[in-house]
Structure 1
Amino acid sequence: MIARRRKSMKLANPAPLGLFGFATTTWLLSMVNAGWLPATTVPIVLAMAFAYGGTAQFAAGLMEMAKGNSFGFIAFCSFGAFWWSFALFEKFFATGVPTAAVGWYLLVWGAFTFAMWLASFALNRAVFLIFLALWITFFLLGLSPLLGIRALFTLGGYTGLITALIAFYTAAAEIINESHGRTLLPLGVPAVRLATAPHPAE
């Protein structure tokens, strides 16, 4: 009886929660990085990083684990932890840390994101684009202090804004399509399926 109830129980889709948490927090931080907002607005970014980008996104990752989605589990929990680490660093540990160390911190996250991007080839095109824009953002932000080129940091702010917009669209598409029971906002077919699809002439 218990096993039958578990089979019939439908779990909620946690992806929109994780994506909205990621998109909104990334948008606010990227506005600062791109120079749209002054550095004095960073505290509001930290608040979002702790609550929505960090906690809500990590919770979404745990829900993905319960659904057996390894990609969603690793992605949401990892980036939830990223926002916690970023907020903790900015709030408590940033004083006296060399800028080169911050650059390597961002590059490490860029390498992780690149690996996840390779995995995303098998997922829908929207998720593929999120991770493509995100690893580029991390590398631009990370290389800026290492190379001493401020323009790379500003450019990373703009690619971060693009990343946030794609993530927000993906989250909106997930919840809107599910709520209406049909595809209103397309997410695109997987990149791998496109690459391996037979040629029309074949």
Structure 2
Amino acid sequence: MSDIEKGQTTQVNDTAAGAGPATTTAARSNLVNNYDYTGPFAPRPTRIANPGALGLFSFASTTFILSLYNVNARGINTPNVVVGMAIFCGGLAQLLAGMWEFPRGNTFGGTAFSSYGVFWMSYAALFVPGSGISVAYTSKDEFDQAVGIYLMTWFIVTSLLLIAALRRNFGFIFLFFTLDLAFLFLAIGSFNGSVTVTKAGGGFGIIAALAAYYCGLSELLTPAESWFGLPLGGIPQRRVD
């Protein structure tokens, strides 16, 4: 979800940006000339490093663990071990990644990371005994129906992000498409109480997690610091005049 997939670079050269208030007019001019300001929403120069890999790895790891539980891997039926991951890794780390994306001018990355960060935190709250959320329901069926509505809402959010990703690259399109299917099947499984449908949702979740790992590694493998790179399947961008 970096600016690389958008065909833009927002990482500021230390020579041009490191002078702070004392930056010369010439340096400022060079700084501006090195960036493509193609519209009112164009990314601004920044010294904030790319948080994309952090957000993607945090999302992938938490999703991978929960999805394995959903497919009943190793005979596990109780997903509570994922609570710590959901709060700190998928939740806090991803929320921070989203907050760092915004000053980089990446609205899509900031929105996606922040949204799924709070998703994982809210999901973890369902299983924290002190929250009183699950025990407030008088029956398991009522709780499952409520969780189904919760998951269906995130299916809608993911669908909207999938639409926004259609002009970015094929890696993110595949990631959001499989994640969308995961939310859909998990919601249906929660509504119907179907173990088979829930396992299907877990399967799509595993695929989405692997796609997120791939995209995150692609973010880390920069040309200047890596022996090779991983293509994300770039899509030609529409120029905004």
- Contact 2:46-2:103 at 8 Å conserved across structures: no
Give the structure 2 partner of residue 152 of structure 1.
Answer: 197
Distance across 1 between alignment mates of 2:93 and 2:67: 19
Q: Residue 21 of structure 2 corresponds to which residue in structure 1?
A: 2
Structure 1 pair 34–44 and aligned structure 2 pair: CA distance change class (3 A):
same
Partner in structure 2 of residue 163 of structure 1: 208
The corresponding residue for 1:120 is 165
Equivalence for 2:95: 58
Contact 2:101-2:110 at 8 Å conserved across structures: yes
Is the radius of gyration larger for structure 1 or structure 2?
A: 2
Q: Is the 8 A contact 2:223 2:229 kept in 1?
A: no
Q: Deviations over 1:130-177 (max 9, x none)?
A: 110111100000011223432110100010000000000110111023
What's 1:200 paired with? none
Structure 2: which 5+ runs fail to align?
A: 1-19, 32-44
Read off the aligned partner of 1:39 and give its amino acid letter.
N
Aligned equivalents of 2:22 and 2:61: distance in 1? 39
Once the two structures are superposed, residues 69-116 of structure 1 have per-residue CA deviations (whole angstroms, 9 ceiling, x without a partner) of 110111000000000000011213222252111101000000000000
Q: Spell out the pairing of 1:51-130 with structure 2 (5 A cutoff).
A: 51-91=88-128, 92=131, 93-95=133-135, 96=137, 98-130=143-175
SS in 1 for 2:221: helix
Shift of 1:43: 3.1
Relative CO higher for 1 or 2, CA cutoff 8 Å, sep ≥ 6?
A: 1
User: Is 1:132 equivalent to 2:177 in the alignment?
Assistant: yes
Say which SS state the counterpart of residue 121 (structure 1) adopts: coil
Contact 1:177/1:185 (8 A) holds in 2? no
SS in 1 for 2:47: coil
* 1:140–1:185 CA distance, 2 compared to 1 (3 A): same
In the aligned structure 1, how far is the partner of 2:179 from the partner of 2:166? 14
* Other-structure match for 1:27: 64
Amino acid at match of 1:167: A
Residue 178 of structure 1 and its aligned partner are, at CA, apart by 5.2
2:35: which partner in 1?
none
The residue aligned with 2:12 is: none
User: What letter is aligned with 1:54?
Assistant: G
RMSD: 2.3
Equivalenced residue count is 192
Match of 2:38 in 1: none
User: Sequence identity of aligned pairs in percent?
Assistant: 34
Distance (Å, rounded) in 2 between the aligned partners of 1:74 and 1:33 = 26
CA contact (8 A) 1:126 1:166 kept: yes
Whether the 8 Å CA contact 2:46–2:104 is kept in 1: the answer is no
Counterpart CA distance in 1 for 2:96 and 2:22 is: 25
Q: Which amino acid aligns with 2:72?
A: G
Structure number with the higher helix fraction is: 1
Residue type at the aligned position of 2:134: A
Post-superposition offset of 1:3: 7.9
